[in-house]
């Protein structure tokens, strides 16, 4: 089934100038980049985007990280794009990520893990609408 999903290249990866390398991996996996923009979250936007994590102890650190610099937001499309992109990202902690995944290749730590992706169709639809109004 052809799907769309949202992804981010997070501030740690943008600062290290590896945006092109990450996008090249997506394209090599035949995930079509159909929307793309560089942006910077305002605090209230980041809090709204990550609202489901508001009660978590890591929420403030997550928000501080996501507003610390520019991100690259994108929408990708392809067969089973949500699952395929989640697998391509790898585990949140790069020490646990499989070889060849984006987080194994590019993440600095569990917190600075370089990429974000929607985890379901409903999340993808909500997140795409928030970022690409």
How would you write the pLDDT of the chain (133 residues) with one tens digit per residue? 899 999 999 999 999 999 999 999 999 999 999 999 999 999 999 999 999 999 999 999 999 999 999 999 999 999 999 999 999 999 999 999 999 999 999 999 999 999 999 999 999 999 999 999 8
pLDDT at 33: 97
Instruction: Tell me the CATH class for 2-131.
Output: alpha beta
pTM: 0.94
* Contact (Cβ atoms closer than 8 angstroms) between residue 26 and residue 76: yes
Residue positions annotated with a catalytic role: 116
Strand ranges of the sheet holding 115-117, from the earlier edge strand across to the other edge = 32-39, 71-79, 2-9, 115-117
| Burial (Cβ within 10 Å: 0-12, 13-18, ≥19) of residue 9 | buried
Which helix or strand (DSSP H or E) is residue 112 part of?
Answer: none
pLDDT at 1: 82
Q: Where are the domains of the chain?
A: 2-131
């Amino acid at each position: 089934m052809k799907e769309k999903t949202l992804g981010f290249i997070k501030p740690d990866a943008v600062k290290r100038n590896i945006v092109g390398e990450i996008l090249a991996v997506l394209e090599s996996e035949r995930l079509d980049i159909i929307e793309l923009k560089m942006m910077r979250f305002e605090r209230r936007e980041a809090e709204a985007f990550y609202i489901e994590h508001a009660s978590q102890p890591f929420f403030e650190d997550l928000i501080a990280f996501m507003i610390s610099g520019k991100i690259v937001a994108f929408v990708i499309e392809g067969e089973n794009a949500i699952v395929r992109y989640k697998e391509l990202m790898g585990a949140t902690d790069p020490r646990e990520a499989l070889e060849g995944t984006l987080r194994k290749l590019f993440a600095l730590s569990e917190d600075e893990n370089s990429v974000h992706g929607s985890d379901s169709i409903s999340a993808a639809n909500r997140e795409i609408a928030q970022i690409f109004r």
